[in-house]
Chains A and B, each alone.
Chain A
Amino acid sequence: MAIANYLYLSAILFTIGAIGVVVRRNAIVVFMCIELMLNAANLAFVTFARINGNLQGQVVAFFTMVVAACEVVVGLAIIVTIYRSRRSASVDDASLLKR
């Protein structure tokens, strides 16, 4: 099995995540798709670390995980706040900048 298979898998998962971000309306599901994209990138990093023979890819993946965690925390807090004031978790409802 070629090592690139992992990269293909990473690409496919990333694409699926990207579609999800655009297509789904529930803010939390959108967030989950973003998480999927981040994880796909992490997989690619780990694979590259293995290809290059040093651990730098894994370090980057590590940092990515940390940052993703922080981002999830803050993002979900925002979603909760918005939900409290507007009683809706749909991203389409936040369209005050509409023409």
Chain B
Amino acid sequence: MINLALDIGKTASPEAALFYFLAPLSVLAGLGMLIAKKAVHSALLLAWIMISLAIFYIAQDALFLGIVQIVVYTGAVMMLFLFILMLVGVDTSDSFVETIRGLRPIAITAAIGFGGLLTTLIGRATFNRPITGLASANSNGNANGLAEELFTKYVFAFEVVSALLITAALGAMVLAHSQKTRSPFAQRDLSIARFRKDKLKDAAGLPGSGVYALHNAVDVPALLPTGKAAPTSISAVLEARGDMIESSKFELHQEEEEK
């Protein structure tokens, strides 16, 4: 069990250094995400924030969660975002002219107020228990500890969330599925297409391939009344490949019968 987090309360360098290095970067990344013109840049900056958050989780003894953050969030969710961006238009850039009157100033004021409020509240909060850290909770390992909680106390929520996952997947499929009400190659369409050709030679359809007593012949052409093979009765690919079988192979030889 690796205990990366240091004892709380001590202003020790590793965790502090980590924090003081990554946190401003994250904040800058966040701001950059706000003002990036291209959506892809925003997505990449968000990915950076998520990775730094994963590092924070690991630094705070949430090992499982940190790895899951990288795998699920950065790996799956952000990739999903990028896929959709590509679908929607990766080159499109937002214009920054605000159409709704007064939205930006009010939003920024509200946000500053909100941030100030939260910061004040956090500053005034007191923890009425001594801060112990996760040393004892992680005694069997973080994954084990998490599993203990998850499958005993929160098992019902776990089941519900799994149902949610399934539903989400189904929902996505339903939403993204564009169902065609009929196949593009229905019989009627084919018939109409045949009749609309220049020549009505094949209006009734191509001849079928030859069928002989001992051979079920997709690769044997049918015989025309002249005795020659009809090249249009089998797929042109077979002929090009040299897989076409001569129909003469299946002729009936009387001499052999008299022997």
Direct contact, A vs B (beta carbon within 8 Å):
yes
Q: Is the CB of A36 within 8 A of B46?
A: yes
Give A91 to B195 CA distance when docked, in angstroms: 48
Q: Which of A23, A36, A80 contacts B87 (CB 8 A)?
A: A80
In the bound complex, residues from chain B placing their C-beta under 8 Å from that of A63 are: 154, 157, 161
Q: How far is the CA of A22 from the CA of B5 in the complex (A)?
A: 36
In the bound complex, residues from chain B placing their C-beta under 8 Å from that of A12 are: 27, 30, 115
Question: Which residues of A in the span 74-99 have a Cβ within 8 Å of any Cβ on B?
Answer: 74, 76-81, 83-84, 89, 92
Q: Residue on A with the closest CB to B127?
A: A51
Residues on the B chain within 8 Å of A49, using CB: 60, 62, 134
Which of B11-19, B197-205, B215-223, B231-239 lines the interface with chain A?
B11-19
Nearest residue, chain B, Cβ from A62: B65
Residue of A nearest to B172 (CB): A77
The answer to whether B190 has its CB under 8 Å from any CB of chain A is no
Interface segment, B88-96, B181-189, B206-214, B246-254? B88-96
Which residue from B16, B30, B132, B142 sits with its C-beta under 8 Å from A16?
A: B30
State which of B60, B89, B142, B149 has its C-beta within 8 Å of the C-beta of A47.
B60
Check: B104 CB closer than 8 A to any chain A CB. yes
Measured CB to CB, the closest approach of chain A to B85, in angstroms, equals: 6
Do most interface residues of chain A lie in helix, strand or loop, or is the interface mixed?
helix
CA distance A79 to B87 in the complex (A): 10
Contact A70 B30 (CB under 8 A): no
Instruction: Return the CB mask of A2-23 against B: 1 if under 8 Å, else 0.
Output: 0111111101111111111011
- Does A26 lie within 8 Å of B30, measured CB to CB? no
Residue in A43, A69, A79 whose CB lies within 8 Å of B77: A69
Chain A residues contacting B134 (CB-CB under 8 Å) are 49-50, 53, 55
Whether A11 contacts B150 by the Cβ 8 Å rule is no
Contacts of A33 in B (CB 8 A): 33-34
Are A73 and B80 neighbours in the complex by a CB distance under 8 Å? yes
Q: Per a CB cutoff under 8 Å, which of A5, A16, A39, A72 touches B34?
A: A16
12 CB contacts below 8 A, A to B, read A17-B30, A39-B73, A46-B60, A46-B65, A50-B133, A51-B129, A65-B65, A73-B171, A74-B175, A77-B175, A80-B88, A81-B176
Residues in chain A within 8 A of chain B (CB atoms)? 1, 3-9, 11-20, 22-26, 28-29, 31-33, 35-36, 39, 42-43, 46-47, 49-56, 58-59, 61-63, 65-74, 76-81, 83-84, 89, 92
Measured CB to CB, the residues of B under 8 A from A are 5, 8, 11-12, 15-16, 19-20, 23, 26-27, 30-31, 33-34, 39, 42-43, 46, 49-50, 53, 56-57, 60-62, 64-65, 68-69, 72-73, 76-77, 80-81, 84-85, 87-89, 92, 94-95, 98-100, 103-104, 107-108, 111-112, 114-115, 118-119, 122-123, 125, 127, 129, 131-134, 136-138, 142, 145-146, 148-150, 153-154, 157, 161, 164-165, 167-169, 171-172, 175-176, 178
